[in-house]
Amino acid sequence: VIVATSSLSYSAKMVSFILGTTFLLSSLLPHGSHGFAPSSLSTRRHVGGQSSIPTSLTTHHMFTGIIEEMGEVISLETRDDMTLWDGSKGKGTEMVLKGDIVLDGAYLGCSISVNGVCLTATEIDEDAKTFKVGLAPETLRKTNLGTYVPESQQRVNMERASEIGGRNSGHFVQGHVDNVGTIMDQWIDENSLFFKIAFPYEFMRYVVPKGFIAIDGTSLTVCDVHSEGEDGENWFTFMLVEYTQKKIILPSKKVGDTVNVEVDVLGKYSERAWEAFVPKMEALETKVKQLEARLQELEGGESTASSSSATDNDVNYGQPIGGLSNVAAAATAPTPEQVKVKNTDGTEWVRTKQSFFDTQY
């Protein structure tokens, strides 16, 4: 009982530790170069190809999902004469966009979110209010940016990168789109506009009711979630309040159109941390069962058919649990001869074993 209680207490502490560590890690991820609320330093202009932004503010990027403006796609071109790092030529796709707010403080190499995709500004024309970005093959595979036709004057959501320590009115958005979703339905609920999005099953485990999600770079709250597996329907819903409807491109989209979707990164880090923890917890539970079986044997009882049998060779009391060396001290356990020695009242072996449990667990 003592061992089992200790293991449950340890499990609760570890779960709390994992969740706390995950949140801490999220705050230490490569974050924004320009602030949740742009600082006075980040509003300096790019002049003559030289950045006036201190280098200490240009090393990280992250977004908040609070769209600053709707920009316009000016051109989308695939070229075969892109110069690579070694001077050779390669094929690549470039997009030119027009914006205003996002160019405030922009510099060559800065990160700008375009429809939720973190892109690097490679050219900036301040007079024309335009900037150029490169679209890598992975970007074209995972997002809908390659489907934009400049002649249609399609608009895109834009946001500058954010700064650590500033105010975040959305959530941690990396600009790393997981996949595209397809609009299945949309309807009006008084002054709210609802959307129903079909999404690949492999990502649905990260979508939870009332959780965060980024749609075309916009930080939104999930309403309902429905998942039937790989061969069934998988979708979620969200809604736009009246103010948001006027500030982003989503209301202009119709059923059948696609949206870029980025799930909450905290869910991914929590899953990875939990995957590392579960084998250790299972090892601990196995050890507890073995110790309980051994205890019953030492008390003179017989193990039930459902309990795993244990011998002196099955359980090495002198070794800490595999992978849990920080929890179980490598104390020297009593030998089989020591635990079988009883005093006149028959309690000596109990005290010896309890001392071992207290030391190890």
Positions annotated as catalytic residues are 63, 111, 118, 120, 136, 176, 221
Query: SS3 of 212, please?
Result: strand
Hey, what are 2's tokens? 């003592």
Q: Strand ranges (DSSP E) for the chain?
A: 69-83, 89-98, 111-114, 117-125, 130-135, 155-160, 179-189, 192-198, 212-215, 218-227, 234-240, 258-263
| Integer Cα distance of 202 and 142 in angstroms | 14
What is the DSSP secondary structure assignment for residue 50, as one 8-state letter?
Answer: B
**C-alpha gyration radius of the chain:** 29
Write out the DSSP string of 3-19: HHHHHHHHHHHHHHHHH
CA atoms within 13 A on the CB side of 246: 3
How is residue 69 annotated by DSSP?
E
- Token pair 């004469």 in the structure block, residue: 81
Nearest Cα to 110, choosing from 65, 159, 150? 159
Question: Is 286:278 a contact under the CB 8 Å cutoff?
Answer: no
Are 336 and 308 within 8 A, CB to CB? no
186, 228 in Cβ contact below 8 A? Answer: no
Alpha helices in the chain (DSSP H): 2-28, 137-142, 201-204, 242-245, 265-298, 336-340, 348-360
User: How far apart are the C-alpha atoms of 168 and 140, rounded to whole Å?
Assistant: 29
